Structure 1
Amino acid sequence: MRNVGVREISRRTGFSPATVSNALNNKRGVNKDTAETIRRVAAELGYEREGRLDHICFVLARKTGEVLDEGTFHPGVIEGVERAAKAAKLQTTLTTIELSNREAATRQAYEITRDTSNAVVLLGTEMAEEDYALFRDPVAPFVVVDGWSDRFFFESVVTQNENSAYRAVSYLVDCGHQEIGYIAGSYRIKNFPLRERGYRRAMREAGLPIDPLWRVEVGTTVTSSYNSMRSWLAQNSLLPTAFFVENDIMALGCMRAMAEKGIKIPEDVSMVGFDDLPYASICNPPLTTARIPNREMGEIAVRRMLDRIREPRDYTCVTHLSTTFVERQSVRRL
């Protein structure tokens, strides 16, 4: 028999690759007549069903690197994926897709999502909504970690961004802070607006004003956030009593700039971050932050995917993981 794939059957029948794959794998959700047509054409073409799943492909979708390159979030996710894959007796392969090279990214995404010998775990941290179109209608089992699409219904595992930020800012309010600023990343990944929404909700519910002068936009690397905060401090002598920062990397750069300016943390200004990266517990002072369970995110992503393979369903789920609030010495009680 000649080698016939899902794409050729799709072209012959006019049905999408996803529908063809579902019909050939006897999954629910395909009309009976449609499934019979697909299987008949497949038999006529000499199609042979692909072998069983043999590995998990972890795909790091990199757009600019402004968030991923200095962070230690995704290595933890990878560790979790590898741990869960090993428990299922599957190998793990790692692939980076450079989203800035659209032509190459389109080709890579197509090949990976059509390879039914693998299941795909996609890291969506830096992805914008338009980037998810590259992965539409995957034939291979597919799940997104730390990202989601508003247009395409992908299985996803994400952090409770808004509620976690809300809790962090509420903690500052409980510590007596009424002037709370917001340090935002200049590169707006999808997580950040949700964290800002949590900040604004906490401030509104506490009856506290949000001063636009204390919304500071900084770069998303240690160096760029340091430089941005230095510039802001050169023009602003009045500080709030506390800042919530969108992630720990930015917090570190800002704290360094403040220290050089003679601003003491937490005596002059308190700081709360987000992520609980390894250095957060050893910086000076140790940073109060929200810990993301990144290893668990990787493990859950694999388990959710294997569950879908064992029990196919017509819908997808977005799984929200809570964070753990970690109190350290960067916040002063007023």
Structure 2
Amino acid sequence: MKVNIRKISEETGFSMSTVSNALNRKKGVNKETAEKILKVAEELGYRVDEEITKIRFVIFRRNGLIIDDSTFHPSVIEGVEHQAKLMGYETVFCYVDIHDPDYQEQLYDILSDMQSAVVLLGTEMLEEDYEPYAGAKNRIILLDGRCDKYAFDSVLVNDMDAAAGAVEYLVEKGHTKIGYLRGEFRIQAFRSREAGYRQVMNQHGLPAKPEYTATVGTKIETAYQKMKEYLDHAKELPTAFFADTDVIAIGSMQAMKEYGYDIPGDISVIGFDNVAYGMVSDPPLSTVHVYKQELGARAVRELLSADRTDSKAKVKIQVCADFIERGSVKEITG
């Protein structure tokens, strides 16, 4: 028997007009009433087949240490907006800050809007942040984020393999004392990059000495300041560093140069992300190139794919990166 609004009205005790407004996410129905109606409707097997009319790009902010000054994310945003436009959809941008007093209300509005499909930028998200998004009523895809507890369709950079390739390049250049410029805010992407660094070190039997790891800030100025503190106490330096990001690499390089180290003459450095100003740093920074616009575009294509409409299986797509060789690495001979 087909479930209709009258049946839901009888089960909940609310009027048919209130039920209709709640099912169509119209204003004027308080949150508690709407949640009760939607819950009963779901239990009865009622489905509202609403057409998706827009892409809602949700930018999650935990502390801004990664996304606030990033040149990476504007390119991702451009990819999302361009692809959505090609497919005939408008893009609505939403910034949500986990520390905002009305954060939960914002989530309810975003995740219950059946006329929007959500691209969730999870760069700053930690494992415990994903729970409310797992219960989204609308279609959602995770971009540049990783979650082990809950399953999401997702598009992300193949961070571990890309980092491993960069460290392998240092080994091929003759480096055996390779350090790690470690971002102090440990997002999931950084953990994967560290795993790639350690994998190559282990494969070649090279020591990843604790004293070769410098934990620094994730902005240029904080990376610079923290690197100076590291150099104040360092008794031995590696011949090369792999950095979690270009921003970290460039800030740290400035500190090293102020302390009299030549790059790459004394210390080689590799970054990650291929931000534009890495090309004009002194020296130009060798780095891992991430296809930023393609990340955003791929997320939109996957989100709106007809194959995803009725599929319960979640798909994780990893976009590969390329290594860009510039002038910040010295080859060690002999």
Question: Does TM-score exceed 0.5, indicating one fold?
Answer: yes
Aligned-partner Cα distance in 1 for 2:129–2:228: 33
**Identity between Structure 1 and Structure 2 (%):** 37
- Determine whether 1:38 maps to 2:45: yes
SS at match of 1:285: coil
2:292 aligned residue (291, 294, 317): 294
Quote how far apart the aligned CAs of 1:188 are: 0.6
1:252 aligned residue (250, 275, 283): 250
Aligned to 2:84: 85
Quote how far apart the aligned CAs of 1:255 are: 0.5
Aligned to 1:180: 178
Deviates more, 1:249-258 or 1:49-58: 49-58
Quote how far apart the aligned CAs of 1:134 are: 2.4
Does the 8 Å CA contact 1:13/1:38 hold for their aligned counterparts? no
Residues 243-282 of structure 1: matches in 2 within 5 Å?
Answer: 243-282=241-280
Aligned to 1:219: 217
What is the identity, as a one-letter code, of the residue corresponding to 2:252?
C
What is the identity, as a one-letter code, of the residue corresponding to 1:234?
D
Distance 1:224 1:11, change over 3 A: same
Does the 8 Å CA contact 2:302/2:308 hold for their aligned counterparts? no
Cα distance per residue 1:15-73 (max 9 Å; x no partner): 6x8xx3xxxxxxxxxxxxx7xx423xx7xxxxxx4642111111110111111111111
What is the identity, as a one-letter code, of the residue corresponding to 1:288?
S
What is the identity, as a one-letter code, of the residue corresponding to 1:134?
P
Residues 137-216 of structure 1: matches in 2 within 5 Å?
Answer: 137-216=135-214
Distance 1:92 1:14, change over 3 A: closer
RMSD of aligned C-alpha atoms? 1.9
Deviates more, 1:196-205 or 1:305-314: 305-314
SS at match of 1:58: strand
Aligned-partner Cα distance in 1 for 2:311–2:152: 12
- The ranges of structure 1 where at least 4 consecutive aligned residues each deviate by more than 6 angstroms after the TM superposition are 7-10
Aligned to 1:231: 229
Aligned-partner Cα distance in 2 for 1:154–1:51: 22
Quote how far apart the aligned CAs of 1:14 are: 5.1
What is the identity, as a one-letter code, of the residue corresponding to 1:53?
I
Quote how far apart the aligned CAs of 1:239 are: 1.4
Aligned to 1:45: none
Aligned to 2:132: 134
Query: Unmatched 5+ residue regions in structure 1?
Result: 21-33, 43-48
In the superposition, the TM-score normalised over structure 1's length comes to: 0.87
Aligned-partner Cα distance in 1 for 2:308–2:257: 54
Aligned-partner Cα distance in 1 for 2:272–2:88: 34
Quote how far apart the aligned CAs of 1:211 are: 1.0
Does the 8 Å CA contact 2:134/2:151 hold for their aligned counterparts? no
SS at match of 2:225: helix
What is the identity, as a one-letter code, of the residue corresponding to 1:91?
E
SS at match of 2:305: helix
Does the 8 Å CA contact 2:22/2:37 hold for their aligned counterparts? no
Query: Unmatched 5+ residue regions in structure 2?
Result: 1-15, 26-32
Aligned to 1:5: 22
Quote how far apart the aligned CAs of 1:12 are: 5.3
Q: How many residues align?
A: 307
Cα distance per residue 1:98-130 (max 9 Å; x no partner): 1123x4222111210110111111100000011
